[in-house]
Amino acid sequence: MSLCTSPSIPHQSALIPILSHVFGQNGKKEYGFDNIKVTNSAWDTNVISASTRYVSLNWNSSGGGAFAVLPLPSPFAPLPTGFPSKLPDLIPLAPRHTAPVLDTDWSPFNDSVVASAGEDGKAMIWKVDPSIFEGWGQDGWEPQDLDPVARIDVSPRRVGHVLFHPTANNVLATSTGDHVVKLWDLAGPENAKDRKIRLFDPRAGGDPVRVGEGHGGIKGARAVWMGDKDRIAMTGFSKMSDRQVALWETGGLGNVKTITIDQTSGVLMPFWTDNNILYLAGKGDGNIRYYEYENDNLFMLTEYKSSDPQRGMCFLPRRGLSVSDCEIARGLKVAASSIEAIAFIVPRKSDSFQSDIFPPALSAEPALSAAEFFSGKSAAPKLVSLEDGSISAGSAPISVLTPVPTKTTSAPPPVASVAPATVVREDPASSSVAAPRGGSMCSVSTSRGATALEEDNAWPNTRLRVDPLPRAASRDHLHKCAQGGEGEIAVRRLF
């Protein structure tokens, strides 16, 4: 295990100069939402989740549990015509849980389908109809709540997290308070489960195929798959309560690098994008750190700073970004009573499509059905061109995990039959594929903030002002406007 401390001056990467300059810039507040009522639950979750059309937010409701569904705000344009920036006290909710909603996740293949997990031990599947947003703010308007299309009795205890499979359609994972992870076939009555938090193949039985040591501290930890890098990025705490980010290789779950961040108590929420950038957003503080990954190293680019602490955060799928604004990533931040968008921008002067910063993204078209996945078939995710919207099959090799015998585990048994899941289906959800927003001209902003915080965020690294290098497209399996010239990144807090 290698241990190092993050320096006060960001790492300088000569490998990808387009990432050399980063600063944050406040945007228009009216582009976002105000008067939100965030849940008071202390459960460790991101609070917010997004598709390329909608945002779901764990809501503070009485008489049970609920989450809100709002139209996706754009950092480059006002909200849809007639939609209020300041939300009314009563809005449409998804209110059918009998205890607080703890987590939500959107289907990667249908931007209108969202899953929820609750303290009542249930997971629910919802289909959003855009008609619920019609007439907001008009006289006589009354909110229409959503109803689930499927209910799953997961556990007698709370369901803490829910996550859709990134490659196979209609496959959902849940984790519960009694340390059980289950996979659900939403198109059929089967499930698989494992009673320990391990790296495992759910199609090969209940025993883990990898067992490894995590962070030394007892506080919460988060993990994210790093696309096709055969690496897992994990945030957690040391025995001395230092916040850390670490990399594990998937072959034997060995630790390849650990970086100490600071001694703040909030959990770091990790987000990986398939242009080799790892974002770390701290709960309870307003900072977001960005790291460039290369050859098992994390090079810190810089840090977005804000005095407004974040309660939760999510990142938009890349196929929903504004290519015409050279937006390479977008985060949605939940503050005390508002939702703010943060755009990550690479300004370019050319009016042609920038293929080096916009490799193909994960598409809304699944590579496998649930039946194919549970039968043992594997496939790389399908990709969509951000230039013309064309779909292509992924070319990354599929890694097959083979058990590595250790003192704590043995090779998994042959595939065993699995118990049926209780899935109550009410109305099948049709799939829809949203085309990415393309564009050509990339606008360049050179405005500067006057506050000290904005000046800190506008730190320029002039020593790395070199021409950008072309980058190869990478893919993800599972979730900067500076002082003139190309090859720089800007980060805007856009409302």
Cβ contact 301:46 at 8 Å: no
Q: Residue type at 364?
A: A
* The CATH classification of domain 3-493, taken from the options 2.130.10.10, 3.40.50.720, 1.20.1440.130, 3.40.50.10480: 2.130.10.10
> What pLDDT is attached to residue 81?
63
Q: Rg (Cα) of the chain, in Å, rounded?
A: 22
What's CA 62's distance to the chain center, in Å? Answer: 28
As averages over each run of 10 residues, the pLDDT of the chain (495 residues) reads: 42 55 60 85 88 92 87 82 77 90 95 95 92 76 84 91 93 90 77 45 71 78 89 88 89 87 89 92 89 91 86 91 87 89 82 84 92 89 90 62 44 39 45 38 37 40 31 34 39 45
- CA nearest 26: which of 450, 461, 460? 450
The span from the CA of 2 to the CA of 172, in Å, is: 35
Domain extents in the chain: 3-493
* pTM: predicted TM-score of the whole model, two decimal places: 0.57
Phi, psi (deg, nearest 5) at residue 283: -75, 130
SS3 annotation, 65-95: EEEEEEECCCCCCCCCCCCCCECCCCCCEEE
